[in-house]
A = this chain, B = another copy of it.
Amino acid sequence: MKEDIVAVILAGGIGSRFWPFSCDKVVFPFFGSPFASYSISRLLPKQITRAVVITNSINNTILSKLTLSVPVTTVIQRSPLGMADAILSASSELSDSRLFIMNADDLTKPGYFNHVIEKGMKRCVFGVIPAVKTKVHLPFGYLETDGRNIQGIIEKPEDGNEPSPYAVLLGHFIADSNILLDELLRTRSSIDDIYEKALSTLMQRYTFLIHEYEGDYATLKYPWHVLDVTRMLLSTLKSYKGTNVEVGANTLLEGKIWIGDNVRIMENSKIIGPSYIGSGTIIGNNSLIRASYIGDQCVTGFNSDITRSYIGNCCWLHNNYIGDSVLEEQVSMGSGAVLANLRFDDQIIYSTVKGTRMSTGRNKLGSFLGKGVRIGVNSSIMPGIKIGKGSFIGSGMVIDKDIPEESYCEIKQSYTVSRNRLKPGDMKREEFRKAI
């Protein structure tokens, strides 16, 4: 066995559940860097000596630009056949090593993975599995455990059937790659749980410890997860003010706010941190920005209210309400357009993903606008709706269905035009004015 501790970084997957965004989730940009620079570069444990990135040809282009502190081998997974297949496709790179299996989709606290590996090495166990103790049901694998040693993993049990309160996170330490690879080869399943089944078998033979995780975490799978990642990354933000920043009179900056170069914040606006304002962005008069990420070169226009949202680069807003929403980039909204973020009954908002209506787990959720989407004045987009890239939504519309890419939507409004027989009384207005 070599001294190597190899990071196995799973960065494949086709991400069709991430629609309407036009890039894959691992390269979705936050604060000017692809998501992977947070989920991989920043989280890579210090004990790692070598990394194997298993990815697909699309993501590889951008991932290859990531700077890691260790030598990296990239393996292209031909088809997205699941986690076991991904690891096996890189088996020639992984023999005779200790492994640390990470997922490029997952975000945990920086430094946390160091402790997982440390525990595995110190205790000389076969495996260490991070898990989060949870009261609410999660669509995760769950550990069969007494809270210390692990007997097995149940992949995605139904609500109420969880074997313990411990839901599995990635960042798995495995002391012997050969044994894992052998077991993965030997395991069969009709569904996508070969990795979990193989681990469960090994858990019968070897010692696996649980490492309980406390704090925020996020998995970037569905479009609304961008909001989770945004919130997590904003929470670690430091206050900063770039060069050539103009801040108008009566403007209020509250909490931690990162302000890029050449930003202009107009008068009577308020920004509540943690918030990020990218370079060259103009925050218009009377705007209210709360706990949001706003990319570079945006214009938020007069009187916009942006709350807990992700606004990508080069977006144009004007007199809009944008709550709990994601605008990919180059999105434009006309005056009075609203992204509604609340159901009438305040209940959980559903969204349709690949034809299936699914719970987003959120009571407050707006909409998801792909690259280049433009929304006309006074239009209303209902909660949980997704609009594909390059689509234009006309004025005065109420959109309550997802809209495919490159669509042109136009209202067909019926109205009557007749002879106007009403005459305003001029004196009334004079009277009204005097009462002001």
A416-B412 contact, Cβ under 8 Å, with A319-B305, A398-B395: yes
Residues of B within 8 A of A422 (CB): 343-345, 347, 392, 408
**Among candidates B319, B330, B374, residue contacting A321 with C-beta atoms closer than 8 Å:** B319
Chain A interface residue count, CB cutoff 8 Å, equals 81
Tell whether A282 is near chain B: CB-to-CB under 8 Å. yes
Q: Is A268 an interface residue (CB 8 A)?
A: yes
A428 partner, pick from B346, B406, B411, beta carbons under 8 A? B346
Is B377 touching A432 in the complex (CB atoms < 8 A)?
no
Which of A61-69, A295-303, A351-359 lies at the interface? A295-303
Chain B CB within 8 A of A327 CB: no
- Interface contact A335-B321, CB-CB below 8 Å: yes
Q: Is the CB of A407 within 8 A of B394?
A: no
List the B side residues contacting A372 at CB < 8 Å. Answer: 424
How far does the alpha carbon of A318 sit from the alpha carbon of B342 in the complex, in Å? 12
Closest to A391 in B: B420
* Distance A346 CA – B432 CA, assembled complex (angstroms): 10
A297 touches B433 (CB 8 A): yes
A378: which B residues are within 8 A, CB to CB? Answer: 336, 338, 378-380, 398
The 8 closest A-B pairs by CB, nearest first: A346-B428, A396-B398, A321-B335, A408-B420, A345-B422, A412-B414, A380-B395, A338-B377
Q: Which residues of B contact A421 (CB under 8 A)?
A: 408
Say if the beta carbon of A135 comes within 8 Å of chain B: no
Q: Evaluate whether A411 and B403 lie within 8 angstroms (CB atoms) in the complex, with A270-B285, A321-B318 already known.
A: no
CB distance from A166 to the nearest CB of B (A): 27
Q: Is the CB of A395 within 8 A of B305?
A: no
Q: Give min CB distance, A433 to chain B, whole Å.
A: 6
A404 partner residues in chain B, CB cutoff 8 A: 417
User: Is A191 part of the contact surface with B, judged by Cβ < 8 Å?
Assistant: no
Q: With an 8 A cutoff between CB atoms, is A288 at the interface?
A: yes
Contact with B along A211-223 (1 / 0, CB 8 A): 0000000000000
Smallest CB gap from A416: residue in B: B410
Interfacial residues of chain A within 371-418, with CB under 8 A of chain B in the complex: 372, 374, 376-380, 382, 390-392, 394-398, 403-404, 406-418
Interface contacts beyond A338-B378, A346-B424: sample of 4 additional A-B pairs, CB < 8 Å, sorted by A: A268-B268, A335-B338, A390-B420, A411-B413
Most chain B Cβ neighbours within 10 Å, of A344, A390, A391: A344
Q: Which residues of B contact A391 (CB under 8 A)?
A: 420
Query: Is the C-beta of A279 less than 8 angstroms from some C-beta in chain B?
Result: no
A126 contact set on B, CB distance < 8 A: none
Known: A340-B377, A344-B374, A377-B340. A415 touches B415 (CB 8 A): no
| A399 smallest CB distance to B (angstroms) | 9
Q: List A residues 151-189 near B (Cβ within 8 Å).
A: none
Interface centre among A314, A334, A390, A395 (most CB of B within 10 A): A395
Residues from chain B with Cβ under 8 Å of A303 in the complex: 286, 288, 303, 305
Point out the residues of chain B lying under 8 angstroms from A250, CB to CB. 249-250, 252, 268
Query: Which of B252, B417, B428 is the one whose CB lies under 8 Å from A249?
Result: B252
Check if B409 sits within 8 Å of A415, measured CB to CB. Answer: yes
Q: Does A363 contact B (CB under 8 A)?
A: yes
Max chain B Cβ within 10 angstroms of own Cβ: one of A250, A305, A377, A397: A377
Closest chain B residue to A407, Cβ basis: B417
